A and B are shown apart, each in its own frame.
Chain A
Amino acid sequence: MSQATPTGVPRWLRSIIVLALIYLFLVGVSSLESGIKVMGADTQERLFSSVSNPIAGLFVGLLGTVLVQSSSASTSVIVGLVASGALGFDQAVPMIMGANLGTTVTNTLVSLGHVRQSNEFRRALAAATVHDFFNLMAVAVLLPVELITGRLSWLATQTADLLVGSGGSEWKSPVKAWVKHPVGWLKDGLGGLGLADNGLGIAMVAVGLCVVIAALIAITKNMKTLIAARLERSMNRVLARGGGVVAILVGVMVTIAVQSSSITTSILIPMSAAGVISLRNAYPVTLGANVGTTITALLAALASSGSDALTIALVHTWFNVIGIAMLFGIPFLRPLPIRAAETLASIAVQRRSVAFGWTLSVFIIIPLLGIAVFR
């Protein structure tokens, strides 16, 4: 049987392209931060006053992630905003949690593609919504704990201090210096077009947003091609060895490599639909994907000023690690997301509208209502 046709771009060239895209991504984050700083303090306050309520912040993070279909992009933007000082650290924490919730929409949408085959649909929807339920449960426990005690922020601050010293805002990222010139050229170029103050700031933020999202999409696409064989081998090992810690680590590694938890979790959906991987084995892979995706915000923090950017990125990591330790590590809690997903899938197989209603309400209607009520 003839072998698969290799794609046209050689591996070495694709690797160089990925490195260039990572650089472009860092330039985008830095441009975003610089753009916000160019705006006046009044404008900054007007922009972000609506998320001073933590519930509204949670829903803004959720909805923003649903819109760009990437928590990597939305958390990188949040990191940039925190670095610029426009978004307070306390406001950003619920937004990060919301971004974590919003990222699960992609595999839920993928599972809806199996709606015509009952058995496939049941398995696919359960595999997708187990991620939704895990994130919902993690937020339900950790957001109130954070609001009351601030322990998650404390943990992230301690970790940031360990990594960069306790100098706080004195910390200067070496990566920041590498991206300084392109951001300066962008600022000069836009200034040359006659833009100034808020207009210049808005233009820099818009360019930064576009660059961050486009670079992440291109990184993901190229990395998926580069590591496809490794990705397949890892998934086959999960099938051979079953779930557990190994599956979590595979989820982490694959997601770090492709820079997208949506890719990792969406790959699981057709495998689950076909019955190749069980829900119990797919579940830990999605948990690993949750942790792996936090690497992008950490990367974005490298291109940002001050230790707050790094700390908020670490909040994202710790939120997921603690969520796993709690909901997967405690034996009697472990089956809860699985049971919830199986129950929802069983109901949705009887009434397909439940699946569509779930997706619409969790990812669109409730966040919109939440923002309207709590802003």
Chain B
Amino acid sequence: MPLSFLKRAESPFERISHETIAMLGDARHSFDLASAVLLAGADASAIGADIRATDERINATEQRLRSELVVHVSVRGGEDIGLVLGYTLLLKKIERIGDQAKNILDLAEEGISLAGADDVADFNARRQEISQMYVEAADVLATGDAERAAAFLARTREMNADCERRLHGYMQSDEPGHWAVPRAILHRYWKRIVANLAGIVTSAIEPIQSLDYLDAGRTDIDD
């Protein structure tokens, strides 16, 4: 194994970038499974184990990559400090959206099910749109395409404004709590996931000091 020192090494940031994209894939997997439990009535006990195992994998990868970033700074000094800090934030965001998929599962494990509800088709459409956003965020991360990133960020703003509007609607609804509260909480989780996906894409195009802030620093987009 020490003789592998003699082999040519892949650039550390290329590898870390590949692994962060794989983490996003894992986070999307958890999101789709948790949504299937809540919106389609899939078996929570069977799927919960998969979601928790995926979450542990995401956490372990985050910890390992953070260690590797410290090693990078130790070896190369401060020459890549912007990238190192950017990746540290990025990894934390991916870890968070992994946790937020678990939050959706928690909702289902509380005994909530929206399968068969009148508005489930609307929820499924939104779920599919958010799931697709994971793929788009990974693409922007891989390519660093500023135009696609800008288009993506515009969609996340629209999506979150809509989630916010619906959230207020449920909070002020005359419907009973067991109807309104799960919907309000689900929209809150979606809003947080989309905000973190926006943060991930922002990290691909923005300098470190302005990550997570829009409107010249007045608004924190991290949720």
Contact = CB atoms under 8 A, between A and B. Distances in A.
Given A234-B5, A253-B2, A4 B79 contact: yes
A134 B114 CA distance: 65
Given A1-B13, A234-B5, A237-B1, A274 B70 contact: yes
B204 interface: yes
A232 interface: yes
A230 B9 contact: yes
Contacts of A138: none
Contacts of A232: 9, 12, 68, 71-72, 75-76
Nearest to B7: A230
Given A239-B67, A270-B74, A246 B12 contact: no
B57 to A, nearest CB: 15
B209 to A, nearest CB: 15
A254 interface: yes
A276 B5 contact: no
A143 B141 CA distance: 58
Interface string A236-268: 110111000010011011100100000000011
B203 interface: yes
A123 to B, nearest CB: 12
A235 B83 contact: no
**Interface band, chain B:** 35 or more
B172 interface: no
Contact of B70 (A1, A240, A250, A271): A271
A246 B1 CA distance: 8
Interface in B144-202: 144
A250 B2 contact: yes
A254 B144 CA distance: 34
Nearest to A3: B13
A67 to B, nearest CB: 25
B83 A267 contact: no
Interface in B5-41: 5-14, 17
A271 B86 contact: no
Contacts of B86: 1
A239 B72 CA distance: 13
B73 interface: yes
Contacts of B11: 3-4, 229
A20 interface: no
A213 to B, nearest CB: 22
B130 interface: no
Contacts of A4: 11, 13, 79-80, 83
B71 A276 contact: yes
A1 B204 contact: yes
Contacts of A228: 75-76
| Residue of A232, A246, A268 contacting most chain B CB atoms (<10 Å) | A232
Contacts of A252: 2
Contacts of B79: 4-5
A231 interface: yes
Contacts of B14: 3
Q: Is the interface of B mostly helix, strand, loop or mixed?
A: helix
B87 interface: yes
A309 B68 CA distance: 41
A295 to B, nearest CB: 14
Interface string B47-83: 0000000000000000010011011111110011001
Interface string B119-146: 0000000000000000000000100100
Contacts of A1: 13, 17, 83, 86-87, 90, 141, 144, 203-204
A274 B70 CA distance: 8
B219 interface: no
Interface in A218-238: 228-237
Nearest to A239: B67
A267 B70 CA distance: 10
Nearest to B76: A228
Given A1-B204, A4-B13, A229-B10, A257 B5 contact: yes
B127 to A, nearest CB: 28
A117 interface: no
A1 B199 CA distance: 12
A2 interface: yes
| Residue of A3, A233, A254 contacting most chain B CB atoms (<10 Å) | A233
Contacts of A270: 70, 73-74
Contacts of B203: 1
Given A1-B86, A1-B141, A233 B5 contact: yes
Interface of A: 1-5, 228-237, 239-241, 246, 249-250, 252-254, 257, 267-271, 274, 276
13 contacts: A1-B17, A3-B11, A229-B10, A230-B8, A230-B9, A232-B72, A233-B12, A237-B2, A241-B1, A246-B1, A253-B2, A268-B74, A271-B71
Given A4-B13, A229-B12, A230-B9, 12 more contacts: A1-B86, A4-B11, A229-B10, A230-B5, A232-B12, A237-B4, A241-B1, A250-B5, A252-B2, A268-B74, A270-B73, A274-B70
